[in-house]
Structure 1
């Protein structure tokens, strides 16, 4: 099934001409509201910093491994492809893909776990919620507002990257006894993002594109790093099938080209499956608007049952063979200690933060959040540089 050509816009696509608007009203000009969102994200400082933030391997492991920035660009490319094939708004899908990791701290999920532990008594830390905080509070460049003043649809999609956050009564779906992440609660006080519904269709496209990108490209990076071999992937459903297909078509092909052919074909299979399944769900549900998509009991943009099984097998393989590999774990354990050290230092000595980050006389929770915001914005390199300034020994993370 070909998905390369643009299709007529479907009735259930989001429409920039009928956006729910921005918190601070603005005249939109020649670009659509969603295109402006996309462009503002690209020009943000948080987006540029993704270049030196870890995906899995820290920056000096090699120039060819994914960083948060290259991962984000790959997610955006996949999201645009799916949105185009389904007849959705490509600009909104791209904006959500570009924004989805803006809140990631240095050192990938290891840095997030460390910050969350440090903030345990102050509301915790969640990188998805932090992405919302970045675009609504922490980017301070515009004269009329803090943040980027993005449209309701983009903010909704960032907040609900992993689906609805509450039930209709407002109770957290993650843990009814635990409060929502701080950034979500803070923004909900000024703007209702309808946390109890699913996100719009383009947000669902961005979320599943994230899954496709990191599944396939983490396989690619893991092979490049020598954490596992192609033969170890052969038993996996879909991956083994594609590997056999490539080896059958080009016997004796050098391994680097085999890997590339396998990865590109995997992306195609995932994308084509999402398009078929989503179109089928749309027909079955009879959706006629993006509002209808939000009101469904389950996501509309999804893998088929068979592809869900194959995708889960990839994740199941990557977890022990890559994310919990002894080499990766050792480096990330040291990275977590860097984050913990920095948090403790800046809590004790807030004057060591830049002047625009200090809050004289702030309450304890607010000061802790300020320190977390500062550290979360750091690149890997800057975090290590700051650690070396204040501590006698700093790990090399090699």
Structure 2
């Protein structure tokens, strides 16, 4: 089986997800007119309240720290752009890849991973059967239950294929409670190629834009980045071709080339793996090993870059200071609401401890950075309304 990596003619391959063969929605409803099922999913996600809130949620830097730093929304759009481009080349379903990419961070807390980690710690004692808090599960919870836009059902009532792509990680304990979307974690099968692609598109986007934001902030330096072989190789090539280029343009040109290298490698490696395993349907994709992948060499370089960013940017003392404050905001909000549920809006007040804790987690996870800070001030500063 040979897989072309030239631009697609527009016809999906047999191993792509087919919207006409979708496993369906949780609630029956008439089919869409003038668009496919996966296009309808994409449109519903874009119009969701949770999607709009991503504009004011942290990627690495708190939302108010600078106008040019990425937010969860701009990150999400970059992921969708990468996923759609690769999907087109590999003749996957572009609309499904885009829908999954647009929804993948809907459940993220304010303050990025620091907020998620703290909310997880808060939830562990209150919902042990549910495994605390995890933003992939919260994203699924948003599209299945929490969005309130339709008269006939809760959530967005998305297709199975979109929902399974949103849930990238899941414990066996939790998977057993999730019905159809939990089955692959129990049976150790794979999701669609579109879901696999969205996952790696996420990695390409955040690794490279975090370099850009880190350099722009001054928390990492160009000299440090030159110690990372993947960056150094591309940066040297830029300086060779454009010796008079300004530093800022050299950085953006380097990052652009790094992204291109990752995308081209991902595309060719995935095409080769599809050719080797020869899936003829999405069901055969599910029973194959993971097929969307980087080559071993590029995978090693990408992992080295991730380690650098973890050690030099995400654990930078200035980032740690800010995120330590953010954790305290989340922790103190959670405890205040748990101690006195009447502080919560009425729709989040419950009658028992475990469901109350989950409702508090829903409320806090839905906050933007600045809303969480404002709520914390109202509860803990005298004179704030």
Aligned to 1:249: 241
Q: How does 1:340-359 map to 2 (within 5 A)?
A: 340-359=331-350
The answer to whether the 8 A contact 2:230-2:305 is kept is no
1:154 aligned residue: 162
* Residue 380 (structure 1) aligned with residue 364 (structure 2): no
More helix by share: 2
Matches within 5 A, 1:277-288: 277-288=269-280
Q: Indicate the residue corresponding to 2:94 in structure 1.
A: 90
**Which of 52, 57, 62 does residue 53 from structure 1 map onto?**
57
The verdict on how the C-alpha distance between 1:377 and 1:4 changes in structure 2, with shifts beyond 3 A counting, is farther
Deviation for aligned residue 1:333: 0.4
Which of 76, 79, 85 is matched with 2:83 structurally? Answer: 79
> For structure 1, which segment, 147-156 or 3-12, has the greater mean C-alpha deviation from structure 2 after superposition?
3-12
1:14 corresponds to: 17
Return the alpha-carbon distance in structure 1 between the equivalents of residues 217 and 106 of structure 2: 26
Counterpart Cα distance in 2 of 1:392 and 1:111: 21
Aligned pair partner of 1:138 in 141, 146, 151: 146
- Aligned partners of 1:283, 1:260: CA distance in 2, in Å? 35
- 2:317 pairs, out of 322, 326, 348, with 326
Write the deviation string for residues 19-77 of structure 1: whole angstroms up to 9, x where unpaired: 11111112222210000000000000000000000000001110000000000000000
Partners of 1:43 and 1:83 in 2: how far apart?
Answer: 23
Quick one: distance in 1 between partners of 2:177 and 2:29?
23
* TM value normalised by structure 1: 0.90
Match of 1:226 in 2: 218
**Aligned residue pairs, count:** 372
User: In the TM superposition, what whole-angstrom CA distance separates every residue of 1:310-354 from its partner, at most 9, and x where no partner exists?
Assistant: 100110110111110000000000100000000011111212211
2:231 aligned to 215, 234, 239, which one?
A: 239
Question: Does the 8 Å contact 1:156/1:193 carry over to 2?
Answer: no
Partner of 2:108 in structure 1? 104
Q: Unaligned 5+ residue runs, structure 2?
A: none
* Contact 2:164–2:181 (Cα < 8 Å) also in 1: no
Aligned counterpart for 2:202 among listed residues 210, 216, 222:
210
Query: How far apart are 1:231 and its partner, in Å?
Result: 2.5
CA distance in 2, matches of 1:291, 1:269: 30
- For the 8 Å contact 1:3–1:81, the answer to whether it is kept is no
Which consecutive unaligned segments of at least 5 residues does structure 1 have? 167-171, 173-178
Q: Distance in 1 between matches of 2:209 and 2:76?
A: 11
Q: Please give the alpha-carbon distance, in whole angstroms, between the structure 2 residues aligned to 1:393 and 1:99.
A: 38
CA 1:4–1:106 in 2, change beyond 3 Å: closer, same or farther? farther
Structure 2 partner of 1:175: none
How far apart, in 1, do the equivalents of 2:263 and 2:208 lie?
12
Number of the residue aligned with 1:169? none
Give the 3 Å change call, closer, same or farther, for CA 282–386 of structure 1 in structure 2.
same
Q: Contact 2:42 / 2:98 at 8 angstroms: preserved in 1?
A: yes
Correspondence 1:264 to 2:266: no
1:74, 1:274 → 2: CA distance?
16
Counterpart Cα distance in 1 of 2:176 and 2:331: 25
Which residue of 182, 191, 194 maps to 2:184? Answer: 194
Q: Which residue of 1 aligns with 2:134?
A: 126
Residue by residue over 1:105-163, the C-alpha shift from the partner in whole angstroms, topping out at 9 and shown as x without a partner, is 1000000111011001113001111111010011112111111000010111111x24x
> How far is 1:192 from its partner?
5.6
Q: 1:294 to 1:191 in 2, by over 3 A?
A: closer
Task: Please tell me whether the aligned partners of residues 13 and 201 of structure 1 are also in contact (alpha carbons under 8 angstroms).
Answer: yes
Q: Evaluate the alpha carbon distance shift between residue 374 and residue 4 of structure 1 in structure 2; reply closer, same or farther with a 3 A threshold.
A: farther
| Counterpart position of 1:339 | 330
- Runs in 1 of length 4+ with deviation above 3 angstroms? 184-187, 190-194
